[in-house]
Amino acid sequence: MTIRLATVDDAEELLKIYGPYVKDTAITFEYDVPTLEEFRNRIIKTLSRYPYLVAEENGKLIGYAYAGPFKERAAYQWAVETSLYLDRSYRGNGLGRILHDALCEALRKQGILNMNACVTYTSKEDEYLTHASLKFHKRLGYTIAAHFHKCGKKFDRWYDIIWMEKHIGEHK
């Protein structure tokens, strides 16, 4: 397996990974799968400032992770929001940790100090959402920073979000 920077040419394969999360889960609050052009533009925008990494195995893209601004104001420039998606057939084999660790290292080199993750949550798991993302981030050393109740609605159900944070550098 290889971890490398994404290119706009990866958009179609990455969209195939992301699409099922939009259509079948509450992990993302997007209702509609983005168009290929929109997804390409997202990659371009991200790469203008932050890392956008892909995991590739035998020529097939199997996952990706990227960072974006936590907030747009200058005072937040040392903090990012992270996202990570895996081909659903590759979950549970350590790929998420490998991608996350590579993203973390790239962000450290950029002087980023805080990694933040917005995790969808429900007290009772359902067919659209489990607690896997929350557990994954806890295993990686994230702590809960905030819990917002019933702030996103998808599949005619209300979901919470939990903001988690991980400090990856010294705040001097």
What pTM was estimated for this model as a whole?
0.95
Going by pLDDT thresholds of 50, 70 and 90, the confidence category of residue 92 is confident
- 88-127 burial code (b ≥16 CB/10 A, e <16): eebeeeebbebbbebbbebbeeeebbbbbbbbbbbeeeee
Has residue 50 got a pLDDT over 90?
A: yes
User: Over the stretch 116-140, which tens digit does the pLDDT of each residue have?
Assistant: 999 999 999 999 999 999 999 999 9
Residue 63: per-residue pLDDT: 97
Residue 49: per-residue pLDDT: 97
Q: Across all residues in the chain, what is the average pLDDT?
A: 97
User: Over the stretch 148-163, which tens digit does the pLDDT of each residue have?
Assistant: 999 999 999 999 999 9
Among candidate residues 5, 102, 135, 113, the one with its CA nearest the CA of residue 61: 5
Contacts (Cβ under 8 Å, ≥6 apart) of 135 = none
Going by pLDDT thresholds of 50, 70 and 90, the confidence category of residue 65 is very high
Q: Does domain 2-167 have CATH number 3.40.50.720?
A: no
SS3 of residue 121 by DSSP = strand
